[in-house]
Chain A
Amino acid sequence: MSLPLLRKEAREHGPVLAATAVIGLVAMFTILGVAEDAGGRFVGLARFLLTLGPLIALVLANRLLVREYTGRTQFFLETLPIGRARVFATKWLLGCGLMLLTAWFAWAVALRSARRAEVLASADAFGVLECAAAYCVAVWSFAALAGMLGRYRYLAWGAIGLAALLTVNITGVPFFYLPIIRLLAQDVQMATALPETSAFVYALAFAAVCLVAAAALALVGSGAMASTLAQRMTARERAFALVALIAVGTISATLQPKPVQPPFAITRGERFEGRWTRVGVLPSGTLDAVSAQSLARAIADDSDALIDVLDLRAHPPVFVLAQQGLDRHVMQRAALRAEDGIVLKVAPNAPTENVRMLVAHSVVADATLGRAMKDDRHVLLDGLATYWPLRDDEAARERWWLRAAAIAEPQPDDYLTAWAETSERLGECESLALAFSVFDTLTQRLGRDATLESMKKIFVEPKDDVRVLFERRPATALASAGVDFSWLASAASAAREQARERHEAELARRPVLEAAVDWRNTPGRGIEIETTMSGAARYAAYYRVLSPWTTDAGEMPRLDVLGSSAVLPLSPSRNDRVLAVIEVDDEVLDCPVRVLAERLEFR
């Protein structure tokens, strides 16, 4: 390394690198923010490194290496008493250091964000950092080599991108299993496992080869090759590059479509292989190996049976990660592609039937490419998913009828088809209970087989094109079975009334809860939102500022309150909209019930 040269690089490229850093920061926080909602942990880090990482490496290589040759200032450096190798080493190490700094910073931000939501072991987090560092070294090494290729550098980038695309298309190797990219695969994103040692070996070997090649271009033949390559492309070369690009593109378009990608491999935890479904459950804390094995078997049975009765083509693997520190009723699904399977993060003491419900929900939602969650059928999906693990367990079903009986009546006329509103108003526990009551009422009217036959017509894999507009409406499918939503709404309401009579004694034990949300705008302190609660010693307040186009608030920050009131840690501005929710753990129902959900507008 040469200190004067480092100072020169800082002066020369400082403003551009600072601008790149600012853009990178904005992109990083945006990606991390989106990923926090979508997948959590290090999903955002991986997305950031995969998208912005190569761009940053490209900018660094252009500034540190290419510019020196195209500006012919490399020759000026060579007239000074500093070796060519030292110049190259300084620039390469500087670029590498900046890439590693980027990786470290993104990792630190992602870690801080992840640790706000869950407990994350340092060893797992550092494993992710190792992966990110190895990935960045490999990307930088390639960028440096491409930079030394001067006018052909963009061709080199294009070639490696095309090679990756062709490899995925021809061999069917999943994108995240490509060498180097493997370092940012799903298991790393979720910090559940480090990739195999060979992944590091491939990445570092690739980096070494690129480094040697770049150094050879810089040093061999007194650096004449790099100087020559830095000249502009001739018209003939440009024409050749264009023709080559078109030719490769045409050839690749004629190649066979890629085979179905294999699902991700489950290598850890208690595993159970059903007829269609492979399940892994990672024990932790109170979820011991025996319980994990039992849960894995139950999930596989549920999923296999559901796949059979609905005739689903997708057979996703399922992995349940028990993680200490999570709330008992909080369950999160990793934001992976549907074909990669269903990966859930749950508390070790989470109710197993809830885990099974979420798996059933995910199986159907994925098989229908998410269309099962449209408002005109979402209640049926939630009902089916809730009903399914309880289908042969009368006692458990009655427990859910107790929850359904606790729902305040009357419900609005369209409470089944305006499901997003219903869910927001009732909260997860009661909305699932409501959906269960609807589905169980349906099975009592039609019988289980006929009901499932109707569900088979509703939850079909949709056409992935314009023909989706002509799909059969859920109401039509129900009508063919002789029922409609209006009847279903009133029949379910009547059934809940009967359940209230059956469970009158238990319901009487429930405390009377009253909650309110008020806001005030005071000079100097701005808008403050205060929640108040009576009838419970503690409660949880959830809140989120809604963007203008938000309908579903998604996951919300939570404030645990001991006492009767609290001001939300939120400083909304005028014209903002805020969703405020108050929930209380209901000992009788054994789940958190939503006492209040209110959308506030500050005008």
Chain B
Amino acid sequence: MNDAIRLTDLRVRYGRVRALDGLSLAVARGEIYGFLGRNGAGKTTTLRVLMGIVGADGGTIELFGQPMKRVSVATKRNIGYVSQEQTYYPWMTPAQLGRFVAAFYPTWDREEYARLLRVLDVPPERRSGTLSGGTRTKLGLALALAPRPPLLLLDEPTSGLDPVARREFNDMVVSMAAERGTTVFLSSHLVDEVEGVATRVGIVQAGRTSIEGRVDELRDRVRRVRSQSQLEPPPGFARVRGDVWLADGALWSGAEWPEGTSVEPLPLEEIFLAFARTDAAVGAAA
């Protein structure tokens, strides 16, 4: 009941393509959840389901403890969304966009929007079509945050930004989430970005969640096992890919390894690469 998002066995098909194939995850209220996956893994579809843009073919959606078949217009008023491409009306200025969007949100905070534009350095009277990609992304963030939503969905928002702008954007998200207690669901394929921001991470592969947990927890569970001999995973361990194994944290500390075997912790990027290149069922089974 404390989850902001709970998706169970979510399924979405586009014709013959299974975009989501039994995806399950949970995001606690107030946390920043990093949603990692390769291109086409199902990240954007998941976010579109959460925004009610796409309907699910199966599974259950729970937002703020309310189960629903499809996210309703009323629920969307509690969600801020920044997409990977900002398709605003090019003839509208940020100020006009604010007035237009405000009409759809009863909780819209005009002063907060003006403040966000100032803080994010978005010129309010320039046409959005003439703004740079980074500024448009910041404009998207201002539009998403101005209604003070309890849930913020970010769909690879920084994919077109340079490293400096990306850092600024992420810092802004973190500080605002902390300040307001906003739940943030951040979808990305940039591991370092997620690692620096997220409190918990889920890795999606082929429409399913391969693994999820806190970053340190994942590091604790997934390790590289190097051995001079051909080793098979003992009971409780599973081979993710090659020499990357998955096990409960306690098993790693209690395990006895043959001589010449080294067990190394992995950075999140290595964990992501291992899970992103293998069958999602491995992680799910683990």
Contacts and interface: CB of A to CB of B under 8 A. Distances in A.
Interface of A: 3-4, 7-8, 11-12, 71-73, 75-76, 78-83, 222, 224
Interface in B63-115: 73-74, 76-77, 81, 83, 85-91, 96, 100-101, 103-105
29 contacts: A4-B103, A7-B100, A7-B103, A8-B89, A11-B96, A71-B89, A71-B90, A72-B87, A73-B87, A73-B88, A73-B89, A75-B83, A75-B87, A76-B89, A78-B51, A79-B51, A79-B53, A79-B81, A79-B83, A80-B104, A81-B73, A81-B77, A81-B104, A81-B105, A82-B73, A83-B73, A222-B53, A222-B54, A222-B55
A311 B206 CA distance: 85
Contact of B100 (A8, A78, A224): A8
Contact of A81 (B48, B76, B89): B76
A80 B87 CA distance: 12
Contacts of A3: 103
The 8 closest A-B pairs by CB, nearest first: A4-B103, A81-B76, A72-B87, A81-B77, A222-B54, A76-B87, A78-B53, A80-B104
Main secondary structure of the interface of B (DSSP, over half): loop
Q: For this complex, into which size category does the number of interface residues on chain B fall?
A: 20 to 34
Nearest to B86: A76
Contacts of B55: 222
A331 B259 CA distance: 118
A12 B73 CA distance: 24
B91 A12 contact: yes
A224 B54 CA distance: 9
Nearest to A78: B53
Interface string B195-223: 00000000000000000000000000000
Of B74, B85, B89, most buried by chain A (CB within 10 Å of CB) is B89
A4 B91 contact: no
A68 to B, nearest CB: 9
A11 B97 CA distance: 12
A600 B274 CA distance: 98
Contacts of B53: 75, 78-79, 222
A572 to B, nearest CB: 47
Contacts of B104: 4, 80-82
Nearest to B49: A222
A294 B157 CA distance: 86
Of A3, A4, A7, A222, most buried by chain B (CB within 10 Å of CB) is A222
Given A3-B103, A73-B89, A222-B53, 18 more contacts: A4-B103, A12-B89, A71-B90, A72-B85, A73-B87, A75-B87, A76-B87, A76-B88, A78-B51, A79-B53, A79-B83, A80-B76, A80-B101, A81-B74, A81-B104, A82-B104, A83-B73, A222-B54
Contacts of A81: 73-74, 76-77, 104-105
Contacts of B76: 80-81
Contact of B14 (A7, A12, A79, A224): A224
Contacts of B101: 80
